[in-house]
């Protein structure tokens, strides 16, 4: 009787620990092979054949199609530079320059990876449509209500993610630091 109880307990612990850890890593991701610059993280290896098993599990679970390395690289940010989660009710400013690339796009998603509905039908900016200042830098204002300049509407959702994708770029597996890839800063300016 006691042996049965102990075996069952061990198996229960094993199931909870094992599947729990898998669920955690598949939903939240791991730090394996990540490139972090400021608030932005990328996993350049997800676009190659030697993608790590954790990223593979996440990709298949979510039904994503990662950007291939010969195509580009995708950076994601879910917080600002001070680690404050991006809040759609606040004013957030993304400013600065981007690493060398033929094109880039900046897109706003909800945490499930879907676009957020808004009256303007604007879900992001491409490097061609953005308004820049004389020195080539840009400033995107992300807010629920309209703002002057490059306004990216949030639809007022509480949590969102930003994705900066660089296409045809030297940034990739070999990139390590901000100096190789100057990413724009993300700052929360004010919350109602």
Partner 1 sequence: MIRLLLTITAGILLGAIVHLVSVLALPRIASQDAYSRLTPATKLNAVTVLPAAEPSYTLIPFLDPAFAVAVCRYDLSGGPIKLTVPVSQAYTSVSFYTRNEVAYYAINDRSAGKKVIELDLMTEAQHDELPEDEEITAADRLIIDSPTPTGLIVMKALAPEPGLMTQAQASLAASSCKVQTDQPAKQAEAPRTRR
Query: Residue 190: which H helix or E strand, with range?
Result: strand 185-190
Binding mask 149-168 for partner 1 (x = CB under 8 A): --------------x-x-xx
At residue 140, the 3 state secondary structure works out as strand
67 lies in the binding site for partner 1 (CB under 8 A): yes
Contact stretch for partner 1 (CB under 8 A) within 5-13, 34-42, 171-179, 182-190 = 5-13
Told to check if 177 binds partner 1 by CB under 8 A, we report: no
| Cβ atoms < 10 Å from Cβ of 159 | 12
**Residue 61 Cβ vs partner 1, minimum distance, rounded to whole Å:** 6
45 in helix, strand or coil? helix
User: How far lies 55's CA from each of 48, 93, 106, in Å?
Assistant: 11, 29, 22
d(CA 163, CA 63): 17
Would you tell me which residues interact with partner 1 (CB under 8 A)?
Answer: 6, 9-19, 21-22, 25-26, 46-49, 51, 53-54, 56-57, 59-72, 74, 102-103, 105, 107, 109, 112-117, 121, 123-124, 126-129, 163, 165, 167-168
């Amino acid at each position: 009787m006691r042996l049965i109880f102990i075996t069952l307990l061990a198996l229960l612990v094993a199931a909870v620990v094992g599947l729990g850890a898998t669920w955690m890593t598949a939903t939240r991701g791991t730090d394996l092979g990540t490139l972090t610059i400021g608030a932005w993280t990328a996993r350049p290896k997800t676009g190659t054949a030697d993608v790590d098993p954790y990223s593979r599990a996440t990709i298949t679970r979510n039904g994503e199609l990662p950007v291939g390395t010969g195509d580009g690289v995708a950076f994601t940010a879910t917080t600002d530079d001070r680690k404050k989660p991006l809040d759609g009710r606040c004013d957030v400013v993304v400013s600065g320059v981007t690493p060398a690339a033929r094109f880039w796009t900046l897109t706003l998603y909800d945490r499930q990876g879907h676009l957020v509905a808004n009256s303007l039908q604007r879900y992001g900016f491409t490097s061609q449509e953005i308004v820049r200042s004389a020195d080539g830098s840009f400033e995107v204002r992300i807010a629920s209500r309209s703002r002057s300049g490059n306004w990216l509407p949030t639809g007022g959702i509480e949590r969102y993610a930003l994705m900066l994708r660089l296409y045809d770029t030297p940034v990739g597996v070999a990139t390590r630091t901000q100096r190789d890839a100057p990413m724009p800063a993300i700052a929360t300016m004010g919350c109602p």
